[in-house]
A and B are shown apart, each in its own frame.
Chain A
Amino acid sequence: NAGVTQTPKFQVLKTGQSMTLQCAQDMNHEYMSWYRQDPGMGLRLIHYSVGAGITDQGEVPNGYNVSRSTTEDFPLRLLSAAPSQTSVYFCASWSSGGGTYEQYFGPGTRLTVT
């Protein structure tokens, strides 16, 4: 199993550009989520999904869109990038199977908006 994969690893955008951060998992996990990590702020939840077709907002959802059309994929869309969205983005997945709900994280995407 590849686990949780994220692409790209690095990205530089200009203010106002749009892009999609990709996240995929091959563990058949029903839950997936996106976090951003900023110095001094820790990791904060952006959006999450409890299954295909179902998403919900986290702590910092503004400026980001998500959809979940398949169990495997959970892309994060930046509609009009702003310098405040410069951050490291992590995708995670987990399952309720076995009752553990242990979360597994991808390697991250480092985004810079100029």
Chain B
Amino acid sequence: KQEVTQIPAALSVPEGENLVLNCSFTDSAIYNLQWFRQDPGKGLTSLLLIQSSQREQTSGRLNASLDKSSGRSTLYIAASQPGDSATYLCAVRGNTPLVFGKGTRLSVIA
């Protein structure tokens, strides 16, 4: 059974700092990995999707990498801003629809 772990569970950083969120998964037989953002009381917004054949994807200040063989992904956020404060979720798609980690709650302090 696929299990997805996100470390750390919570993170607080000063504005402007670069930061890395980690995601690991137990079964490397995945088709893709997706990073989401969730604001309190809101739905999920897709940030980046990496296919299993890809190593990384970039969107603006965000860069996600994937090492399928070691079961790891990282989400790099450059020059963090208070508006980046949210919960970030990692999810993998294998034989069933997405299996989610429990998320990293990020606070960026002005």
Contacts and interface: CB of A to CB of B under 8 A. Distances in A.
Interface of A: 31, 33, 35, 40-45, 48, 58, 90, 92, 99-108
Interface residues of B, number: 22
Contacts of A101: 31-32, 49, 93
Contacts of A44: 100
Contacts, number: 57
Contacts of B96: 45, 48, 58
A108 to B, nearest CB: 5
Nearest to A4: B43
Interface in B69-106: 89, 91, 93, 96-103
Contact of A33 (B46, B51, B97): B97
Contacts of A106: 43
B42 interface: yes
B43 A43 contact: no
B44 interface: yes
Interface string B41-58: 011111001010000000
Interface centre among A42, A44, A100, A104 (most CB of B within 10 A): A42
B97 A92 contact: yes
B38 to A, nearest CB: 9
A43 to B, nearest CB: 4
Contacts of B24: none
Contact of A102 (B46, B99, B100, B101): B46
Nearest to A106: B43
B102 A103 contact: no
Given A101-B31, A105-B43, A108-B43, A48 B49 contact: no
A106 B45 CA distance: 9
A42 B97 contact: no
Contacts of B45: 105
B101 A42 contact: yes
